[in-house]
Amino acid sequence: MPKISQHHTLKEKRKLRVSGKMTGSALRPRVAVFRSNEHINLQAIDDASGKTLATASDLGKTKLKGTKTERSILVTKDLVKKLKAAKVEAVVFDRGPSKYHGRVKAVADTLRQEGITV
């Protein structure tokens, strides 16, 4: 009988370590950041009910110009508009397996500058 391998990659271990301790609620949703080589996706998630409150992405938006960091700032401002429409003033920031550096840091800083408590 073969053994089942329970090994996780380093990326999976970082995600479990960072994201495993966080939960979002309706009043303070979890903002999950997914960063690929080209794009960035943001989601505001209410973990208590299992629903996504707001999303923002630069995928498929050809009018966004500039560096990847500049595009992530524009995407974050779009997410902030949606959060304010949903009357959300505070969030839990979930960076996932990414380092708090570059585009991920720019997202957190933009959230703070736009008046969202992180």
Q: In this predicted model, what pLDDT tens digit does every residue of 44-61 receive, in sequence order?
A: 999 889 999 999 999 877
Q: In this predicted model, what pLDDT tens digit does every residue of 11-57 receive, in sequence order?
A: 888 888 888 877 888 789 999 999 999 999 999 999 889 999 999 99
- Label residue 24 exposed, middle or buried (CB < 10 Å: 0-12, 13-18, 19+): buried
What are 49's two structure tokens? 């009910």
Q: Would residue 58 count as lying in a domain?
A: yes
**Rounded average pLDDT over 88-93:** 93
Answer with the residue of higher pLDDT: 70 or 65: 70
Question: Which CATH number covers residue 101?
Answer: 3.30.420.100
Q: How many domains does the chain have?
A: 1
Q: Would residue 36 count as lying in a domain?
A: yes
Domain that holds residue 85: 24-113
Q: Would residue 103 count as lying in a domain?
A: yes
Q: Would residue 14 count as lying in a domain?
A: no
Q: Would residue 56 count as lying in a domain?
A: yes
Q: Would residue 65 count as lying in a domain?
A: yes
pTM value is 0.84
d(CA 16, CA 41): 19
| pLDDT score recorded for residue 1 | 67
Residue 45 near residue 29, CB atoms below 8 Å: yes
Answer with the residue of higher pLDDT: 110 or 5: 110
